Structure 1
Amino acid sequence: MIVLALTLAPVASAQSSNDVIELHNDTGMVVRLIPFGATVTQIEVPDRDGYPANILLGFATPAEFRVKNSKVSFGATIGRYAGRIAGAGFTIDGKPVRLMADDGPNALHGGGKAKFDTQEWSVRSRSSRAATFSLNSPDGFQGFPGRLQVAVTYRLISGNALQIDYEARTSKPTALNLTNHAYFNLAGEGSGSIRVQRLQVLARRYVATDASGIPTGAFPSVVGTPLDLRQPRALGHAIDSRVPPMGEHGYNHAWLFDKPLGRLETVARLDDIGSGRTLSVETTEPSIQVYSGGYIDGLDKGPSGRVMRTFDGIALETQHLSDSPNRPDFPTTLLRPGQVFRSTTIWRFGVSSR
């Protein structure tokens, strides 16, 4: 998060709705978006032989996203607070803020049923290469203080890359943490498990949490743990491991980067040897939450018509740390009137040789 002073294809037919915004470039990349949740519904990129495929989990139509997506948030914008807040509360300037607990005693992604991923965003602008969604979130939404004006811009840039820019302003001091919840499968949606795909996370430390997912304040070294991804490793090595801190649901862990706050750097890479598709993640954020889809329940079908099952996709959520409003030693998520929240993440796709 950067806070600044304020200065005042076959799949396409399944989504043939006025809701769908399509971005495309001259090298075979297509991105489809809908206003509901400011959601990325599909990304088509070519493999090493030039054949395109949608590499995001999701649904075939905007109507399905509206009915089903609240339980998984495929491709949606997450807020007001991505991650968990302990005890569903915190204080700002000595004043208590009470949220709606929805994850045991804690608040997940801001708490309650109504979150940013269930809101109808406005389309501020659109073209063949970019689209901006905006949302006016009222004072008290989810319990957070301040009327929040939020904008999310998706823009195709050179190198088969999608840049996501977040911007927000508030009328009262508040806490804010935004991310996107896309689930990637570089072999193509409907191709099955991601276990053979390889992940690299360029971090020396991970975020230790208690049994409920709340950070303890410790940042242990990844050395000697299944979270040591400084070199690319097949996802299955940890998904199927029970070596602490792994559990039965695979990855649902965060790493802390050593880079300066607000600097845009490459922080993670994903690749699929079979198709040759690669993904590099660049961000200004200080952390990444990796979730390998361990709670996908196998009840829904994707655009391919195939059932989406546990470990069929992986979310790479660039964001600030969970429970930062209760942790003054963590990078701050406090946003005050007169400041502008800005954050950037880039998904850069490519191909590897055989």
Structure 2
Amino acid sequence: MIHLINKSGASVMLTERGAGIVSIVVPDRNGVMGDVVLGYRDEESYLADGPCAGKIPGRFANRIDGGRFTLDGKEYQLVKNHPGYQLHGGPDGFSNRLWKASQISDTEVVLTLDSPDGDQGYPGNMHVEATYTWGEDNSLTLSIKATTDAPTILNLTNHTYWNLDGEDSGSIFNHVLRINASRWLATSEALIPTGELAPVEGTPMDFRTAKPIGRDIKADFPALKYGKGYDNCWVLDGAPGLKLAAELSSTASGRRLEIWTDQPAAQVYTGNWLDGSPVSKSGRPYRDYDGVAIECQGFPDAPNHPGFPSCVLRPGETYSRTIIFKLFA
């Protein structure tokens, strides 16, 4: 495990398995420290866990329809880990690999991973670097860079589950969420994008004004029935570049989270299938809806939708993305 700590005593724990976030310990409104991310009791539990808790999935986060795509006229068949699609880069994706950590200081670490040509069906030898920096203001910055020696596709994110009342506090239905997005990606029943950028207005997908996560989660709306809750991608408003993607808050603890990114979209997953996950740090099993993941990323299934932002990376180019988690109380 890798420990980052700032002068206030607030801390982050990371694992080389999947370059994942294991814990983030920050004060509530009364100054009481608490761990606000879901995670497991032992490091071994991070191998092949269904929730992908805290980790960096890849090479391609989210879904690719049929587990196949065409690039420069050549079709590639990926290793599928779900019927009809590949999720999060396949059964042995980046989230299950041991990354190599180099701790720079008490507040910074660089984790690297080399992915060979043909890995899970993807072309090109790829080198990835993920840098976590823990600020004195309780902000955690994740900077991800990658290069390749052959044309390929790439979509990287972080899959942390948040519970601002504490990781052992149960349902996040009372957490208040705002998403800076006026459109979302409509999907099939398998949660594969149809290609439609649908307006959120007048639907349960509208989080432009902050509202409790649980307010509409059981609404009679197809997307919510497909995933047993929110498991959808929002198209972030605003010009390209670093912007505020989402805000999450809890009136119970007084904690608040801002997520900033230069990614074009954010997948919000309300932990709809957490039942049966490994034993938590607190020793109890997590239940459905005990945490919410806000995954800043490129568009899912982008290689199969020419109208979506490109996810192609070519030799000589550097993939560079930033996600910042800012915590307040």
Identity across the alignment (%)? 39
Q: Which residue, out of 183, 186, 198, partners 1:205? A: 183
Q: Which residue, out of 113, 121, 131, partners 2:99? A: 121
Q: Distance in 2 between matches of 1:294 and 1:179?
A: 19
Matches within 5 A, 1:145-294: 145-247=123-225, 249-261=228-240, 263-294=241-272
Shift of 1:299: 5.2
Q: Distance in 2 between matches of 1:134 and 1:75?
A: 16
Q: Distance in 2 between matches of 1:28 and 1:346?
A: 19
Which position in structure 2 is the counterpart of 1:48? 29
Question: Greater CA deviation, 242-251 or 144-153?
Answer: 242-251
Q: Which residue, out of 283, 300, 308, partners 1:305? A: 283
Q: Which residue, out of 108, 114, 117, partners 1:136? A: 114
Q: Distance in 2 between matches of 1:82 and 1:349?
A: 24
8 Å contact 2:49–2:277 — kept in the other structure? no
TM-score (norm: length of structure 2): 0.97
Give the residue type in structure 2 aligned to 1:207: L
Which position in structure 1 is the counterpart of 2:325? 347
Q: Deviations over 1:99-147 (max 9, x none)?
A: 0122211111122x11101101111333210111000101100100000
In structure 1, the gaps of 5 or more residues are: 1-19
Question: Greater CA deviation, 266-275 or 242-251?
Answer: 242-251
Q: Distance in 2 between matches of 1:300 and 1:42?
A: 15
Q: Distance in 2 between matches of 1:331 and 1:193?
A: 34
8 Å contact 2:275–2:285 — kept in the other structure? no
Matches within 5 A, 1:80-91: 80-91=59-70
Shift of 1:327: 1.3
- Find the residue that maps to 2:103 and give its secondary structure: strand
Shift of 1:158: 4.3
Q: What is the alpha-carbon root mean square deviation over aligned residues?
A: 1.2
Matches within 5 A, 1:15-94: 20-66=1-47, 69-94=48-73
Q: Distance in 1 between matches of 2:324 and 2:278?
A: 28
Mapped pair 1:104 → 2:83 = yes
In structure 2, the gaps of 5 or more residues are: none
Q: Distance in 1 between matches of 2:73 and 2:110?
A: 36
Shift of 1:27: 2.7
Give the residue type in structure 2 aligned to 1:52: M
- Find the residue that maps to 2:49 and give its secondary structure: helix
8 Å contact 2:108–2:132 — kept in the other structure? yes
Q: Distance in 2 between matches of 1:23 and 1:161?
A: 12
Shift of 1:258: 2.6
Q: Distance in 1 between matches of 2:234 and 2:228?
A: 17
8 Å contact 1:238–1:250 — kept in the other structure? no
